[in-house]
Amino acid sequence: MALMSTPPNKYNAESAFEREAWDGAEQDRLGTHLVEGALYAQFTFEDGRTVTRLPQTLDLYCSSCEKEQTFERTTVPTGSDDFGWAKSVVYRCRNCQARYQAFLYTWNKQGFWKVGQTPEVRERIDPALKKALGKSIVLYQKAVRSRNFGFGVGAVTYLRRIIEDKTSQLMDLLKDEKWNSWSEEERAEFENARKTYQYSQKIEYAAEKILPPRAFANGRDSFTALHDVVSSGIHSKTEEECIEIFDRCNVIFTRTFQILHEHKREREEFAAQLTALKR
């Protein structure tokens, strides 16, 4: 007797579709973790389920093309899945075919860990931020390196130190930038902020005055994270939670310092040109 297969019903078709969507989304998340995640940080999938394959392509910075490119997996998977202990996977730039990125990982039922990569995690720091941070750049590099090696507590501690060092400079920059255009009330508000606000409040206050409104609104969550860094909020947090906090506040931190420094430089250049003109 021929085996009768079960005819597909609506429920089965829907769940297969949903399963595919979930796989795609989780595989993308895994890809982002491969590219940006810290070493030895555990990556877990949603709902206690798992995908079985690494992504076929990744978006990575190519040092040959000097921009973000699609990298394609070159290593052929062996077996029906990519699970294993200390396994490696290699991707190649689809555009120039000249640059490779390799990862070493361990993947089992408990989760996924990136345990090595070459070239190393990118520590490229925006030249504008480098200038804005001055001597604190050394601390910032250590913060980024700590983050990339999974030392989240170390990363936020370095960041906290920079914030403490830089906040008064930030307030000075803001004063130089706005003082002449401020009303008496705004000047009083500034003095009050300078004397009584905590570090994170000062940065938030300065950022609100200097960042484009949209960037500021988007950064709301970053200020909560920033506040955690400079208050006692991080004392009870795990390495992973600290990495997450670092990533969240890093964006707003970088933007604020860059923009203020940029304004200051432009104004100084303008003043210099004006002086030259008057001669």
Please give the torsion angle defined by the CA atoms of residues 156, 162, 168 and 172, in that order, rounded to the nearest 10 degrees: -120
C-alpha to C-alpha distances, 5 to 1, 2, 9, 12, nearest whole angstrom: 12, 9, 12, 13
Q: Among residues 180, 208, 181, which one has the least CA distance to residue 193?
A: 208
Shortest Cβ 39–Zn ion spacing (Å): 24
Scanning residues 110 to 149, which ones bind Zn ion (CB under 5 A)? Answer: none
93 vs 260, beta carbon nearer Zn ion: 93
The answer to whether the CB of 197 falls within 8 A of the CB of 223 is: no
* Binding residue for Zn ion, selected from 32, 64, 70, 74, defined by CB under 5 A: 64
**63 scored as a contact of Zn ion (CB under 5 A):** no
CB atoms within 10 A of CB 271: 10
Nearer to Zn ion among residue 93 and residue 242 (C-beta): 93
Q: Kindly state whether residue 95 participates in binding Zn ion, applying the rule CB under 5 A.
A: yes
Region of 54-62, 187-195, 219-227, 267-275 interacting with Zn ion (CB under 5 A): 54-62
Instruction: Indicate whether 62 belongs to the interface with Zn ion (CB under 5 A).
Output: yes
Instruction: Tell me which of 93, 211, 225, 252 binds Zn ion, using CB under 5 A.
Output: 93
- Indicate the SS3 state at residue 67: strand
Q: Tell me if 74 contacts Zn ion by CB under 5 A.
A: no
**What is the C-alpha to C-alpha distance for residues 263 and 272, in angstroms, rounded to an integer?**
14
Q: Which two tokens mark 170?
A: 């930030």
Binding range to Zn ion, per CB under 5 A, among 85-93, 163-171, 192-200, 266-274 = 85-93
Is 65 a binder of Zn ion (CB under 5 A)? yes
Q: Which is nearer to Zn ion, 52 or 97 (CB)?
A: 97
Number of residues that bind Zn ion (CB under 5 A): 8
| Dihedral angle sign, alpha carbons of residues 141, 142, 146, 149 | positive
d(CA 195, CA 192): 5
Question: Which residues are near Zn ion by CB under 5 A?
Answer: 62, 64-65, 69, 93, 95-96, 99
